[in-house]
């Protein structure tokens, strides 16, 4: 009896390893080649798995790229929750530190890969449906973080509107970096200016 049980666990481990390799390879391809340059052939080569394994787990390219970005988003949100929640709750400037946390979440590979999907979805209705669902998941994760910090205040429509305003401001500022690249110092200046404005709006 122990042998079949061990075989099942081994198969589950192999499945999880294959999926993770595909997801990580997809993110790398999105960042390096963009959405249109990310092909399933490139992904399976980078992941070191067979084409059949890719089709088994993710039948289409859209299934694969959306799952990869969503996987990264949820993983990063979980990491930030675990690492930062206690610190924010003890902070003397919880509002400013929370804004900095959301800003940090939008740095690096997650946002860059997400941007590739946003742009491509404009002319791809099928992808747009996937991206809309993905965005609901990401926004839901941020709302969960806000709920953990602020409790029932998140149910207030005005407060929730402020949360969305923060997201829209940060995403707009990050998109600006693609058009007008800046030094780390200049980028930080832009963020500090935006953060000050958000603080003023929240205090009204």
Q: Domain ranges in the chain?
A: 61-203
Write out the CATH class of domain 61-203. Answer: mainly alpha
Residue with tokens 């919880």: 94
What pTM value is reported for the model?
Answer: 0.77
pLDDT band at 1 (very low <50, low <70, confident <90, very high): low
Q: In the numeric block, which tokens belong to residue 4?
A: 């079949």
For the stretch 32-47, pLDDT in tens is 999 999 999 999 999 9
What angle separates helix 109-121 from helix 157-179, to the nearest 10 degrees?
90
Q: Is the pLDDT at 17 greater than 90, yes or no? A: yes
Question: Residues 179, 168: contact at Cβ < 8 Å?
Answer: no
What angle separates helix 61-90 from helix 94-105, to the nearest 10 degrees?
160
b/e sequence 130-154, b meaning 16+ C-beta within 10 Å: bbeebbeebeebbeebbeebbeeeb
Using DSSP's 3-state secondary structure scheme, residue 67 falls into helix
Q: In the numeric block, which tokens belong to residue 108?
A: 């690096």
Residue with tokens 């990264």: 72
Would you mind telling me the total number of residues written for the chain in this entry? Answer: 204
Select the highest-mean-pLDDT range: 1-5, 39-43, 69-73, 129-133. Answer: 39-43
Question: Residues 154, 160: contact at Cβ < 8 Å?
Answer: yes
């Amino acid at each position: 009896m122990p042998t079949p049980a061990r075989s099942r666990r081994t198969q589950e481990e192999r499945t999880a390893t294959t999926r993770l390799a595909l997801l990580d390879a997809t993110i790398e391809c999105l960042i390096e080649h963009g959405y249109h340059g990310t092909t399933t052939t490139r992904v399976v080569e980078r992941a070191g798995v067979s084409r059949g394994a890719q089709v088994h787990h993710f039948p289409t390219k859209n299934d694969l790229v959306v799952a990869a970005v969503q996987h990264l988003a949820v993983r990063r949100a979980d990491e930030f929750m675990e690492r930062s929640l206690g610190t924010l709750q003890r902070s003397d400037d919880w509002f400013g530190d929370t804004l900095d946390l959301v800003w940090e979440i939008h740095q690096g590979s997650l946002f860059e890969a997400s941007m590739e999907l946003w742009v491509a979805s404009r002319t791809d209705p099928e992808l747009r449906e996937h991206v809309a669902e993905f965005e609901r998941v990401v926004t839901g994760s941020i709302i969960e973080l806000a709920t953990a910090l602020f409790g029932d205040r998140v149910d207030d429509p005005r407060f929730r509107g402020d949360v969305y305003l923060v997201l829209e401001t940060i995403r707009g500022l990050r998109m600006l970096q693609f058009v007008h690249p800046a030094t780390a110092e200049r980028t930080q200046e832009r963020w500090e200016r935006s953060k000050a404005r958000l603080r003023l709006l929240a205090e009204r």
